[in-house]
Amino acid sequence: MVGETLQIGLAGLGTVGSGVYEALLRNRDLLEARAQISYQVRRIAVRDKTRKRGVEVDETLLTDDWRDLVDDDEIDIVIELIGGTTEAYQLVRAALEKGKPVVTGNKALLAEYGSTLFRLSREKGVPLYFEASCGGGIPIVQSLQHSLICNKVSAVVGIINGTSNYVLTAMDKEGLSLREALQQAQSLGYAEPDPLLDINGWDAAHKGLILAMLAYGAPLGSEAISVTGIEHIEPVDFSFARRLGYTIKLLVVIRYHERRNALELRVQPSFVPQQHLLSKVDGVFNAIAVCGDIVGETIFYGRGAGKNPTSSAVVGDVVLAMRECRLPGYHTGFLPYAEGVKALPVEATETSCYVRFRVKDCHGVIASIATIFSQHDIGIAATSSAEGEHDGTEGWNHLVFMLHVCCWGQLQEALGDIRKLPTVVGEPVVLRIESFQTS
Ligand code: HSE
């Protein structure tokens, strides 16, 4: 072993916090042997000291004030797992100010305060590690930051929200409604306390902003990303997708457009070709495809949520922090290296699309919609309106258009005109068809 025993302060003893505590104890011998460093959890900050918890902890370690971790000069490393952005921000900031490396899994914190915290990290020369903030147990942060450092990244495309993927899989494979599938995900503990962020795409967006920052070198604000959730998808969309050779996935798409020197950054439910590996990623699993100019396409797959996978990522960072504590003046934590990245307006992004309308089942309805698409210069690759997909309401049917590649803005204008047709009812469901071009 090298030097003295390193002292860890843990803030938060919820699901992930207890997982981290247990992993640090259970695999102590292995971790100490691998890192050649001994460690001890010195203090644990919790909201309520009297609460019964699922992990056995020496009560004398507990405090209900996270400042005790920051103010304790013996503590070398702070792990932030309290969640939220208010107190978590104060804690991370205070720890970095005090020169203590911080490990966090808090994606919302990085989405909101990433720029400030990384600036502070640079000023103080103190690292902030965040492997657990994206993809749960998948080592994507370290991979983008270090293993793939050689590459100019042309695209990152991934499924990075386990709950929505679980919901989409259950809708597809078991024919459940969105609400039934979400209840199942909640009862299994996958969803966020407020599952709204899982369903409306913002949990994936926060993670997407982190991936974009790693791949392109500068934190981006939430205004840079266009976000659509899965709330409007219905079981009928899966039948159409299957018949057309696709699966529906909520994708984060990050693509660099060299000609415009701008980044396409969006979270949207999308058609994924059945032959592509991402279409096979089911349930709570996540997968992230990274395309680099030197490495080509790589795909990272694993559990994107849950106590143990997330704890694995946190403890990996803790060991890294411990090793780097032994190297004063040096660390491998993320430091922005780009001046800023220009985001491509979503209206200018281009893909083929699937559009499903609910229409009055009468003569001329296909022609009237097709005419409007044509007026907006949008080509139609195929239409579909199978009897079997009828929702049972007399006189109405689903009508699907598969469109050639067009601009999102152009499509929105066409849809604005189509909505005015008396034969079209309610909001159309629009899904991107991802091409998986690597450049
Ligand atoms: N609720 C998240 C998900 C887990 O479903 O992926 C943590 O990020």
Same-domain pairing of 129 and 153: no
Q: Which two tokens stand for residue 247?
A: 């699966």
The verdict on residue 439 lying in a domain is: no
Q: How many CB atoms lie within 10 A of CB 118?
A: 21
Is 309 near ligand 1, meaning CB less than 6 Å away? no
> How many independent structural domains does the chain possess?
3
> Residues 6 or more apart from 45 whose CB is under 8 A from it?
9, 10, 11, 12, 62, 63, 64, 65, 66, 68, 69, 82
- Ligand 1 within 6 A of 132 CB? no
Rounded distance between C-alpha atoms, residue 398 and residue 135, angstroms: 36
The alpha carbon of 197 and the centre of ligand 1 are apart by a number of angstroms equal to 9
Q: What's the CATH code of the domain at 209?
A: 3.30.360.10
Among 16, 192, 211, 267, which is best to mutate for testing ligand 1, by the most ligand atoms less than 8 A from CB?
192
Whether residue 125 is found in the same domain as residue 195: no
E strand or H helix that includes residue 11: strand 6-11
CB 159 near ligand 1, within 6 Å: no
pTM greater than 0.85 (yes/no):
yes
CA of 165 to the centre of ligand 1 (A): 10
User: What is the residue range of 41's domain?
Assistant: 6-136+308-325
Residue 161 beta carbon below 6 angstroms from any ligand 1 atom? yes
Q: Is residue 338 part of a domain?
A: no
For ligand 1, say whether the CB of 190 is within 6 Å of any of its atoms: yes
How far is ligand 1, taken at its centre, from the CA of residue 304, in Å? 7
Both 367 and 246 in one domain: the answer is: no
What confidence score (pLDDT) does residue 439 get?
47
Are residue 268 and residue 178 in the same domain, yes or no? Answer: yes
Q: How far apart are CA 159 and CA 284, in angstroms?
A: 10
Q: Are residues 119 and 238 in the same domain?
A: no
- Residue 54: per-residue pLDDT: 83
Q: Are residues 27 and 103 in the same domain?
A: yes
Q: Do 424 and 295 share a structural domain?
A: no
From CA 27, how far away is CA 21, in angstroms rounded? Answer: 10
Query: What is the residue-wise DSSP string for 278-309?
Result: GGG--TTEEEEEEEETTTEEEEEEEE-SSHHH
Q: Which of 250, 269, 303 is the last residue of a domain?
A: 303
Q: In what order do the strands lie in the sheet with 39-45?
A: 62-63, 39-45, 6-11, 77-80, 102-104, 128-129
- Please tell me the residue having the least CA distance from ligand 1 atom 4: 305
Question: How high is the pLDDT of residue 389?
Answer: 55
Which of 325, 357, 376 is the C-terminal boundary of a domain? 325
* 273 and 176 inside one domain: yes
Please tell me the distance between residue 63's alpha carbon and the centre of ligand 1 in angstroms. 28
pLDDT the model gives residue 294: 98
CA of 138 to the centre of ligand 1 (A): 13
Considering the domain boundaries, does residue 331 fall inside one?
A: no
Does ligand 1 come within 6 angstroms of the Cβ of 198?
A: yes
State the distance from the centre of ligand 1 to the C-alpha of 212, rounded, in angstroms.
18
Return averaged pLDDT per consecutive 10 residues of the chain, 439 residues in all: 86 95 96 95 95 90 97 98 96 98 96 94 96 97 97 97 96 95 86 85 96 95 95 95 96 95 97 96 97 97 93 98 88 89 94 96 91 98 74 77 97 98 94 78
Domain contains 10:
yes
List, in sequence order, the alpha helices (H) in 125-218: 140-142, 162-174, 178-187, 196-199, 202-216
Residue 228 and residue 254 in one domain: yes
Locate the ligand 1 atom nearest the alpha carbon of residue 195 and give its number: 1
Q: Is residue 339 part of a domain?
A: no
| pLDDT of amino acid 392 | 55
Domain membership of residue 427 (yes or no) is yes
> Does 341 map to a domain?
no
Tell me: do 283 and 153 sit in the same domain: yes
* Same-domain check for residues 123 and 147: no
| Residue of 131, 163, 200 best suited for mutating to test ligand 1, as the one with most atoms within 8 Å of CB | 163
State residue 298's pLDDT score.
96
Same domain, 264 and 381: no
- Phi and psi of 264, rounded to 5°? -85, 125
What are the residue numbers of the active site?
A: 207
Look at ligand 1, atom 7, and give the residue with the nearest C-alpha: 305
Atom of ligand 1 nearest to the CA of 191: 1
3-class state of residue 312 by DSSP: helix
Q: Is the CB of 162 under 6 A from ligand 1?
A: yes
Domain boundary, last residue among 238, 272, 303: 303
pLDDT at 230: 98
197 found inside a domain: yes
Here the CATH number for the domain that contains residue 103 is 3.40.50.720
CATH code, domain with 370: 3.30.70.260
Mutation test residue for ligand 1: of 138, 160, 161, the one with most atoms within 8 Å of CB: 161
Residue ID of nearest Cα to ligand 1 atom 8: 305
